[in-house]
Structure 1
Amino acid sequence: MEFDTFREMIEKSDSIVFFGGAGISTESGIPDFRTNGGIYNQKNTYSYPPEVMLSHSFFIEHTKEFFKFYKDKMIYKDAKPNAAHIALAELERRGKLKAVITQNIDGLHQAAGSKNVIELHGSVHRNNCMNCNESYDLDYVLNSPEIVPQCRKCNGIVKPCVVLYEEPLDTDSINRAVDFIESADMLIVGGTSLVVYPAAGLIQYYRGDRLVLINKSETPYDGKADLIIRDSIGKALSRVI
């Protein structure tokens, strides 16, 4: 019944926006952060908790330890797009989905074929020298002979373009996300607990009456949703698209 309602909502909509979190990539084998099997709850062999190691201050003060953790726990180069990523790319191809707004840094939406992707927390596939701003891809970081990748031009540290704790989100990305959400006639939210701000606060900009939440656990926005689906995101999206 809920999938029939979901399908009808999509059919009636012409300006859909998808807002997603870590849960959309768990079906590709990438762990999330806060569930039982998530990164924050996995057995930790490092001297610091993951929340600390993913902070800007830790990156500056313990750069080598940061990169050890980052390469070990945050990179899943062999991960492939799953049914959810593929369904969203198809929805965009049909002209109904106008934007994917993601908190993920894995690049799987683009790998599935989505063109208009707003990456609120950056991407592991983009890396810049902190000194001269020279750009590098993921392979350069992974294949660096040193634990801390260094710029070929100036020997500066090559930092991943991902938003760490204590760092602000990109203003342009936030503004674009707000514009798309405000103009959407349907907002699909999937795989996010909606507790990490400021990203979670973007939902407040939606003014329509087709807010769909797809998440296996409760969120603070359940009371505002027009439809809640407690199931796999890949299953939900592939069944209706």
Structure 2
Amino acid sequence: MENKIAKLTEIIRDSNNIVFFGGAGCSCESGIPDFRSSNGLWNEKLKIKFTPEQLVSHTFFMKYPEEFFKFYKDKLIYPEAKPNAAHITLAKLEKMGKLKAIVTQNIDGLHQAAGSKIVYELHGSVLRNYCMKCGTFYDEKFILEAKEIPTCPKCGGTVKPDVVLYEEGLDDNIIRGAVDAISKADTLIIGGTSLVVYPAAGLINYFKGKNLILINKSTTFADNKADLVINDSIGKVFNEVMKLI
């Protein structure tokens, strides 16, 4: 492990255009679990067994909005969560001029809370919510304090989280920005993601740079393409790297 940490540190020192591509593992150390761990939730009212993917789908949101928001508020919003070592390290690397962008599948806003400026949120953010009728935006506190279905006080429309639900497409502008950043990077660090969610995971195919780094507790399909693979906690790894830089 020490040799791998040393190699990662050397790569970061020699790189001037790093892009980080991250997933749920980045936020687990902040107390935010991967929502898939809630697999097989039973909704007594509906008498139907749903997977987490179904619970955060566009169809479920439209058909069962009350049950959607119960799950959403309980499992996807963590107002007390704080940035961990991974978020803080990435923000420091950006300040050093090493890191040029973060492409994240997470919706918690912790990268920005740590100080990162250039963040492409592929799946949106729980911190932003908008009225489907008049477009007025609201913060996550509005959603948490709402009873049952959040309703816009201005027009009575349903307030929808600005997150990409299953069955919905990704934002074109975010995709273009992420692709541009990844394609220009000399080093791509993939961390805290098993690379199973598409189309997000497919974005790493745009990387044509020198160093492909994978930091994840479990193996991924891209391990055999990587120049360096570290199977450990990303926060722990970055903590060790910052001691050496």
Query: Above 0.5 in TM-score?
Result: yes
- Residues of 2 paired with 1:191 and 1:156: CA distance? 37
- Residues of 2 paired with 1:3 and 1:40: CA distance? 34
Please give the secondary structure, in 2, of the residue aligned with 1:28: coil
Structure 1: runs of 5+ lacking an equivalent: none
Paired AA for residue 39 in structure 1: S
What residue in structure 1 maps to residue 198 of structure 2?
A: 197
What residue in structure 2 maps to residue 51 of structure 1?
A: 53
Please give the secondary structure, in 2, of the residue aligned with 1:194: coil
What residue in structure 2 maps to residue 78 of structure 1?
A: 80
Runs ≥4 residues deviating over 6 A: none
- Residues of 2 paired with 1:24 and 1:39: CA distance? 18
1:174 aligns with 2:175: yes
CA RMSD of aligned residues (A): 1.0
Structure 2: runs of 5+ lacking an equivalent: none
Please give the secondary structure, in 1, of the residue aligned with 2:120: strand
Asked if structure 2 preserves the Cα contact closer than 8 Å seen for 1:31 and 1:39, the reply is no
What residue in structure 2 maps to residue 159 of structure 1?
A: 160
Deviations 1:95-119 (A, max 9, x none): 1100011000001111111111110
Please give the secondary structure, in 1, of the residue aligned with 2:29: helix
- Residues of 2 paired with 1:192 and 1:185: CA distance? 20
Asked if structure 1 preserves the Cα contact closer than 8 Å seen for 2:77 and 2:126, the reply is yes
What residue in structure 2 maps to residue 101 of structure 1?
A: 103
What residue in structure 2 maps to residue 8 of structure 1?
A: 10
- Residues of 1 paired with 2:60 and 2:12: CA distance? 44
Paired AA for residue 132 in structure 2: M
Q: Percent identity?
A: 61
Deviation at 1:45, TM superposition (A): 4.1
Deviation at 1:39, TM superposition (A): 2.8
Please give the secondary structure, in 1, of the residue aligned with 2:166: coil
Asked if structure 1 preserves the Cα contact closer than 8 Å seen for 2:5 and 2:237, the reply is yes
Aligned residues: 235
Please give the secondary structure, in 1, of the residue aligned with 2:161: strand
1:32 aligns with 2:31: no
Deviation at 1:209, TM superposition (A): 2.1
